A and B are shown apart, each in its own frame.
Chain A
Amino acid sequence: MRVSTVRFGEIEIKDSDLIHFPGAILGFPASKSYFIIEAEDSAFFAWLQSVQEPELCFVVTDPFIFKKDYSVNLTNKEIESLSIKEANEINILSIVSINSRSNGQININLMAPLVVNATTRVGYQLIKEEYTHHLRYNIKPILRKMAEIEEMDRKAFDKADVQKQAVS
């Protein structure tokens, strides 16, 4: 099927690419299906584009990259409505936002994760009250640190490379 989007223009997608949100993403009742577009220049972020609303697009990420001890406890009712049979069917995404009022903080929403059954491709935005204080969890310091480590690795690698050349 062809989908028109504001950000990416017309895109051809397969029905099997769709993720359905019967309960919608809160505040966006008109959009019930979305699909993922991998971000070209980032390993951590992807776009979640609405099928029904061309202008509606979220940035999503894997929350476990940024908060190692994060966990989403599903109630029996949630497991049932997601028709989850195996734990490895569960896919969890966090919506990323940038808060222009707070100095370019990059936040992920740990309180209302998108929980998707990877087999049925049905998902819900669930509210986890134990993460009330992490509705906007700032990941910018972590991103900086990751970038620094990578930079250090690269420098170490370059240095090793130079030494090797010097030896030969």
Chain B
Amino acid sequence: MLTLSRKPGESIRIGNDILIIVQEVRGKVVKISIEAPEDMTIYREELYKRIVAANLESTSLSDLADLEKELKDLPDF
């Protein structure tokens, strides 16, 4: 992994069209602005990880078999 040191007001460019600007550092909080193409989605990592974990729960075949069983156990499903 590449690690760079930057001061507020300085920035990092990734490829031609992604620009990451360090706006402000206050105590433990860093404010960052990102310029990226419209079709590029940007998430806070912890949020992204939670969604991925929930998505994963829906996909394993054994869990799906469990789901089918659960549904069958309900009357009339």
Q: Chain A residues in contact with chain B, CB under 8 A?
A: 6-7, 22-23, 25-28, 41-42, 45, 55-59, 77, 80-81, 95-100, 104, 106-107, 109, 111-112, 125, 127, 129, 135-136, 140, 143-144, 147-148, 150-151
Contacts of B47 in A (CB 8 A): 127, 129
What are 19 A-B contacts defined by CB distance under 8 Å?
A22-B39, A26-B55, A42-B71, A55-B61, A57-B61, A57-B64, A80-B38, A95-B58, A96-B58, A97-B54, A97-B63, A97-B67, A104-B66, A109-B51, A109-B54, A112-B51, A135-B50, A143-B77, A147-B75
- Given A26-B48, A28-B55, 4 other A-B contacts at CB below 8 A? A27-B56, A58-B58, A97-B57, A112-B54
Q: Which residue of A lies closest to B52 (CB)?
A: A27
Q: Which residue of B lies closest to A135 (CB)?
A: B54
A7 touches which of B54, B61, B71 (Cβ 8 Å):
B61
Contact with A along B29-71 (1 / 0, CB 8 A): 0000000001101010001101111111111010110110011
Interchain CA distance A153-B56 in the complex, whole Å: 37
Q: Which residue of B lies closest to A6 (CB)?
A: B61
Q: Which of B41, B48, B61, B63 has the most CB of A within 10 A?
A: B41
Contacts of B17 in A (CB 8 A): none
Interchain CA distance A80-B19 in the complex, whole Å: 22
Interchain CA distance A97-B2 in the complex, whole Å: 37
Contacts of A112 in B (CB 8 A): 51, 54-55
Q: Chain A binding site: helix, strand, loop or mixed by DSSP?
A: mixed
Contacts of B55 in A (CB 8 A): 25-28, 58, 95, 109, 112, 125
Q: Which of B50, B51, B59, B75 has the most CB of A within 10 A?
A: B59
Q: Do residues A23 and B39 form an inter-chain contact, with CB atoms below 8 A?
A: yes
B63 touches which of A22, A77, A100, A125 (Cβ 8 Å):
A100
B38 touches which of A59, A81, A127 (Cβ 8 Å):
A81
